[in-house]
Amino acid sequence: MTPGRFITLEGGEGAGKTTQGALLAAALCARGRPVLRTREPGGAPRAEALRGFILAHGGWDAQAEMALHVAARREHWAALIAPALAAGITVVSDRFHDSTWAYQVAGQGAPAAAFDALHEALLPDARPHLTVLLDIPPEAGLRRARDPNRYEALGAAFHRRVHEGFLARAAAEPSRFLCLDARQPREAVAAAILERALAA
Ligand code: TMP
């Protein structure tokens, strides 16, 4: 059995990840590829419980907050993503580890070495084949965001650091990332994503 492809969608608030993830999944399904749509934080039942907890409570030490996201990710990976990939299913996830780097490391100041150590220890094999960065200036994204959560209230400087964090991640691994201007028409973004996903 050929393992499935693992595709992640990343970006700040209001970038259109959910819309584009749904369009991508539908287009792949229409071509006969089995697809699992999922999201982070969450995705699997216990990880969704952690999502509710993380989004309901703020004020964490940055490393504690990072560890909560990584715990949810480990559960998501073990319970849902890894078995799906092993079964030949393409997994499309709204957010994955790059969000932790952008929000907790770049945004909240958690040490990059702690991020690396946690992922190396708990998720050594969890590497997306393709990551789509839907890039949008944070001010424009926050205006478009449809489902407000506590991170949106963290202020313009925080969201600028998150934005820079995503761009730095993409620059460090250009072969994994497809960077797109999220302000382009929805159909143009979807077509560019599908082309790369079919080749991933
Ligand atoms: P969502 O709004 O994209 O569903 O994600 C919920 C929030 O969680 C979003 O504001 C980004 C934040 N987040 C982190 O801070 N760290 C992470 O590792 C992940 C996956 C999400």
Compute, in angstroms, the gap from residue 136 CA to the centroid of ligand 1: 16
Question: Looking at the predicted structure, is the pLDDT value of residue 169 above 80?
Answer: yes
Q: Does residue 1 lie in a domain region?
A: no
Q: Does residue 171 lie in a domain region?
A: yes
Q: Which residue range is the domain that position 154 belongs to?
A: 6-199
Compute, in angstroms, the gap from residue 3 CA to the centroid of ligand 1: 27
Q: Does residue 126 lie in a domain region?
A: yes
Q: What is the CATH number of the domain that holds 42?
A: 3.40.50.300
Compute, in angstroms, the gap from residue 95 CA to the centroid of ligand 1: 7
Question: Looking at the predicted structure, is the pLDDT value of residue 1 above 80?
Answer: no
Model confidence at 183, pLDDT cuts 50, 70, 90, reads: very high
Number of structural domains in the chain: 1
Tens-place pLDDT, residues 40-55? 999 999 999 999 999 9
Residues 6 or more apart whose CB falls under 8 angstroms from that of 34 comprise 4, 88, 89, 90
Omega before 3 within 30 of 0, i.e. cis: no
Tokens of 172: 């460090």
Read off the pLDDT of each residue in 16-22 and give the average, rounded to a whole number.
96
- Which is the closest atom of ligand 1 to the Cα of 100? 18
Question: Looking at the predicted structure, is the pLDDT value of residue 84 above 90?
Answer: yes
Q: Mean pLDDT over all residues of the chain?
A: 96
Model confidence at 17, pLDDT cuts 50, 70, 90, reads: very high
